[in-house]
Amino acid sequence: MEYTKPLAKLIEYFQKLPSIGPKTAQRLALHVIKMPENEVKNFAEALIEAKTTISYCNICFNMSSSNPCEICSNPTRNKNIVCVVAETKDLMAIEKTNEYNGTYHVLQGLISPIDGIGPDDIRIKELLYRVNQNDIKEVILALNPSVEGEATSLYLNKLLKPFNIKITRIAFGLPMGSELEYADEMTLTRALEGRIEI
Amino acid sequence: MEYTKPLAKLIEYFQKLPSIGPKTAQRLALHVIKMPENEVKNFAEALIEAKTTISYCNICFNMSSSNPCEICSNPTRNKNIVCVVAETKDLMAIEKTNEYNGTYHVLQGLISPIDGIGPDDIRIKELLYRVNQNDIKEVILALNPSVEGEATSLYLNKLLKPFNIKITRIAFGLPMGSELEYADEMTLTRALEGRIEI
Mean pLDDT on B64-82: 94
Provide the pLDDT for residue A57.
95
For residue A54, the chain B residues in CB contact (below 8 A) are 4, 6-7, 33
Asked if B187 and B107 sit in the same domain, the reply is: yes
The answer, for A134 touching chain B at a CB cutoff of 8 Å, is: no
Which candidate from A2, A26, A47 shows the least CB-CB separation from B44? A47
User: What SS3 string covers A36-56?
Assistant: CHHHHHHHHHHHHHHHHHCEE
Q: CA B64, CA B104: separation in Å to the nearest integer? A: 13
Residue A52 has pLDDT above 90, yes or no: yes
* A29: nearest CB among B3, B50, B69: B50
Q: What is the mean pLDDT of chain B?
A: 92
The answer to whether B180 and B174 have CB atoms below 8 angstroms apart is: yes
Q: Per residue in A123-181, pLDDT tens?
A: 999 999 999 999 999 999 999 988 999 999 999 999 999 999 999 999 888 888 888 88
Q: Are residues B11 and B100 in the same domain?
A: no
Beta strands in A144-188 (DSSP E): 166-169
What whole-number distance in Å separates Cα of residue A56 and Cα of residue A94? 18
Distance CA A26, CA B88 (A): 10
Is B85:B105 a contact under the CB 8 Å cutoff?
Answer: yes
In-domain check, residue B90: yes
At residue A1, does pLDDT exceed 80? Answer: no
In this structure, are strands B55-56 and B63-64 parallel, antiparallel, or unpaired?
antiparallel
- Interface check for A15 against chain B (CB to CB < 8 A): the answer is no
A26/B89 Cβ within 8 A: yes
Tell how many helices (H) and how many strands (E) occur in chain A: 7, 6
CATH number for position A38: 1.10.8.420
Domain-embedded: residue B111: yes
How many degrees, rounded to 5, is the angle at CA A16 between CA A42 and CA A118? 115
B84–chain A nearest CA distance, Å: 17
Same domain, B31 and B76: no
Q: In chain B, what percentage of residues exceed pLDDT 90? A: 76
Q: Is A64 among the domain residues? A: no
Measure CB to CB from residue B52 to each of A17, A37, A51 and give the nearest one.
A37
Give me the pLDDT at residue A181, please: 82
Q: Are residues B99 and B33 in the same domain?
A: no
Residue A4 and residue B64: Cβ atoms within 8 Å?
A: yes
Tally of domains within chain B: 2
Residue B58 falls inside a structural domain? no
Residue A86 and residue A177 in one domain: yes
Among A43-47, B90-94, B189-193, which stretch is predicted with the lowest mean pLDDT?
Answer: B189-193
d(CA A185, CA B90): 46
- Record: contact A54-B1, CB cut-off 8 A: no
Is A182 a member of any domain?
Answer: yes
Q: For residue A83, what is the enclosing H or E element? A: strand A78-85
For CA atoms B188, B190, B191, B197, the dihedral sign is: positive
What's the whole-number mean pLDDT along residues B85-95?
A: 92
Check whether residue B179 and residue B88 sit in a common domain.
Answer: yes
Lowest average pLDDT, out of A153-162, B69-78, B174-183, goes to B174-183
Return all residues near A110 (Cβ < 8 A) that are at least 6 apart: A86, A117, A122, A143, A144, A146, A148, A149, A151, A152
B65–A7: do the CB atoms touch at under 8 Å?
yes
Confidence label for B1 from pLDDT (cuts 50, 70 and 90): low
A23: containing domain: 5-53
A44 and A14 housed in the same domain: yes
Please, which pLDDT band fits residue B149 given cuts at 50, 70 and 90? very high
Query: Where residue B98 sits, what CATH number does that domain have?
Result: 3.40.1360.10
Partner residues linked to B102 by β-bridges? B78
Query: For B172, phi and psi rounded to 5 degrees?
Result: -110, 135
Contact between chains at A6 and B46 (C-beta distance less than 8 A): yes
- The CA distance from A52 to A47, in Å, is 9
Q: Which residues of A touch B37 (CB under 8 A)?
A: 51-52
Q: pTM for this structure?
A: 0.77
d(CA A155, nearest CA chain B) in Å: 27
A14: buried, middle or exposed (CB in 10 Å: 19+, 13-18, 0-12)?
buried
160-179 in chain B: CB under 8 A from chain A = none
Contacting residues of A for B31, CB less than 8 Å apart: 17-18
- Give yes or no: residues B78 and B158 share one domain: yes
Q: Which of residues 57-76 of B touch A (CB under 8 A)?
A: 63-66, 69-71
| DSSP state for residue B187 in the 8-state scheme | H
Query: B77 and B103 share a domain?
Result: yes
User: Per-residue pLDDT averaged across B158-183, rounded?
Assistant: 89
Do A12 and A83 reside in the same domain of the chain?
A: no
Least Cα distance to A117 among A86, A139, A89, A90 occurs for A86
Do the domain assignments include residue A61?
A: no
User: Does A141 fall in a domain?
Assistant: yes
Q: Compute the distance between CA of residue B162 and CA of residue B173 in angstroms, rounded to an integer.
A: 29
Is the same domain home to A98 and A148? yes
Q: Tens of pLDDT along A59-114?
A: 999 999 999 999 999 999 999 999 999 999 999 989 988 889 999 999 999 999 99
**CA–CA dist B119, B155 (Å, integer):** 9
* Assigned domain for B60 exists: no
Scanning A81-120 for CB atoms below 8 A from B yields: 87-89, 92, 95-96, 98
CB of B103 within 8 A of CB of B81?
Answer: yes
- Claim to verify: residue B170 and residue B105 sit in the same structural domain: yes
Give B66's contacts in chain A (Cβ within 8 Å). 4
**CB-facing half-sphere around the CA of B82: CA atoms within 13 A:** 27
What pLDDT is stored for residue A194 in this prediction? 84
